[in-house]
Chain A
Amino acid sequence: MKHAFIDIYADLNTPLHKLNTKVKIISWVTFLLLIISFPIRYAILPYGLVIIILIYLSKVPLKFIFNRLLEMAPFIIIIGLSALFRKQGVALFFNCTIKAALAVILTLIIFSTTKFTQLLEALKQFKVPRIFIYLLSFMYRYSFLLEDQLLRAKRAYESRSINNKNNFKKVKILGNILGSIFIRTYERSERIHLAMCARGYTDEQNN
């Protein structure tokens, strides 16, 4: 499993990494609200400066930040384009898109410097209902596994079909592959669940 899209830079040693997660989350929310509350022409300088400092402190590579911005850019820009049709549309366009970009960078920094397990612990202390913590941790643990299975299934399909131009058939096969992976993964989780119960796990923890 070469892929890891969570906790890529969470192991670095910076002041941001060492900062208490709850403090980080509260600061993040506050700063985010500040960013979107003021028209960007006033806000860009001070907030931009703080974000640059945070980027520097976090030691997260610029390329990573840039790639994430690139991924989100189409959505941000396309919705922003609709703003151009408003009165003073150009100002509104820049207002919205720059705020969105700053928010993306800020969120990226905050959560790249936090281990997922620390995030879950902080959410638990914020009294987020247990079922969400459970679902988040499940996603953390098993999404790599599922991605592996999907890649393997894709390779298996590609090595068995040549020049399959029939799109309807392709989609049907895709649906069957996804369905069978779903069921196999469910049966695996059933086995895990039984194994846990056999070792004393009780379901009361999960409501």
Chain B
Amino acid sequence: MHIPDGFLSPTVFISGWGAAIGTLSFALKKTRKILKDKTVPLMGLMAVFIFTAQMLDFPVPGGTSGHLLGGVLSSITLGPYAGAIVLSAVLIVQCLIFQDGGLTALGANIFNMAAVGTILSYYLYAALRKLMPKINISAAVFISSWFSIVLVAVFCALELSISGTSPLNIVLPAMVFVHMFIGIVEAIITTFILSFIMKVRPDLIYGGKK
């Protein structure tokens, strides 16, 4: 999911950086008001948590290993925009310290995982809750977490294909297939963690008790 250097064409990675900077500037503007309260230490905590959690990887069919994203986890507790900022910070550290994901690809990676995997997936969760008010909260969490992973994979595949590195008819099915399994693990763990938090400290959920 973290695209290394050398696989994206200049057009794609420069657009990726543009998209990332645009998303983050927007997110910063949106979170300016809430940064004065207790959200900041919670954001820091989320960053550490997701950073550590992303170090646990599990084998998946297809040969590689997958790891957690934490996009829905951070956006439901912090809100979509603060969550995106946290995810981006985690990606930056992973790129610089662990070389997981290249610098040129960092823009695209941030866009994939912070904009699509966090913000978009949060609105998917919100839409599910709003349009189907009878839906079990955990089900909404599960579905949006699963989609967050699959959507990231789709965008990844699109970027690789537009760069001319991989043919779309190979990379899209391959990535989506593998990430459907990763998505299930992400969905299960996110759902369990969030249901625990909702029970014990519902005030840590964005928007109060949701």
Chain A interface residues toward B at CB < 8 A: 5-6, 28-29, 32-33, 35-37, 68, 71-72, 74-76, 78-80, 82-83, 85-86, 92, 95-100, 103-104, 107-108, 111, 116, 119, 129, 131-132, 134-136, 138-139, 142-143, 146-147, 150, 171-172, 174-176, 178-180, 182-183, 185-186, 189-190, 192-193, 203-204, 206-207
Contact A99 B5 (CB under 8 A): yes
B26 near A: Cβ within 8 Å? no
Q: Which of A80, A108, A175, A189 contacts B42 (CB 8 A)?
A: A189
- The 30 sampled A-B contact pairs (Cβ below 8 Å) are A36-B6, A79-B166, A82-B170, A82-B174, A83-B165, A86-B166, A95-B6, A100-B4, A103-B103, A104-B102, A107-B102, A116-B97, A131-B35, A132-B88, A132-B92, A134-B44, A139-B89, A139-B90, A142-B48, A143-B48, A171-B192, A175-B196, A176-B196, A183-B197, A185-B48, A189-B45, A190-B41, A192-B41, A203-B37, A207-B36
Q: What residues of A have a CB within 8 angstroms of the CB of B93 in the complex?
A: 136, 139
Q: What residues of A have a CB within 8 angstroms of the CB of B38 in the complex?
A: 190, 193
CA distance A174 to B106 in the complex (A): 31
Closest 7 CB pairs of A and B: A175-B192, A179-B196, A99-B6, A138-B44, A103-B5, A82-B166, A135-B89
B15 near A: Cβ within 8 Å? no
B180 near A: Cβ within 8 Å? no
Q: What residues of B have a CB within 8 angstroms of the CB of A98 in the complex?
A: 6
CA distance A137 to B44 in the complex (A): 9
Q: What residues of A have a CB within 8 angstroms of the CB of B131 in the complex?
A: none
Interface-located stretch among B49-57, B120-128, B144-152: B49-57
Closest to A33 in B: B104
Contact A107 B103 (CB under 8 A): yes
Contact A138 B192 (CB under 8 A): no
Interface secondary structure of A, over-half rule: helix
Q: What residues of B have a CB within 8 angstroms of the CB of A116 in the complex?
A: 97
Contact A203 B197 (CB under 8 A): no
Q: What residues of B have a CB within 8 angstroms of the CB of A143 in the complex?
A: 48, 51-52
B85 near A: Cβ within 8 Å? yes
Q: Which of A96, A138, A179 contacts B48 (CB 8 A)?
A: A138
Question: Do A96 and B196 contact each other (CB < 8 Å), given the known contacts A32-B103, A186-B45, A192-B41?
Answer: no
A100 to chain B, nearest CB (A): 4
B118 to chain A, nearest CB (A): 14
Closest to B94 in A: A139
CA distance A179 to B90 in the complex (A): 19
Contact B5 A32 (CB under 8 A): yes
Q: What residues of A have a CB within 8 angstroms of the CB of B75 in the complex?
A: none
B55 to chain A, nearest CB (A): 8
B64 near A: Cβ within 8 Å? yes
Query: Which residues of B (152-199) have their CB < 8 Å from a CB of A?
Result: 160, 164-167, 170-171, 174, 188-189, 191-197
Q: What residues of B have a CB within 8 angstroms of the CB of A203 in the complex?
A: 35-37, 40
Q: Which of B31, B64, B166, B200 contacts A74 (CB 8 A)?
A: B64
Contact B193 A182 (CB under 8 A): yes
Q: What residues of A have a CB within 8 angstroms of the CB of B196 in the complex?
A: 175-176, 178-180, 183
Q: What residues of B have a CB within 8 angstroms of the CB of A131 in the complex?
A: 28, 31, 35, 40, 43, 85
Closest to A147 in B: B52
Q: Which of A6, A28, A32, A176 contacts B192 (CB 8 A)?
A: A176
Contact B193 A179 (CB under 8 A): yes
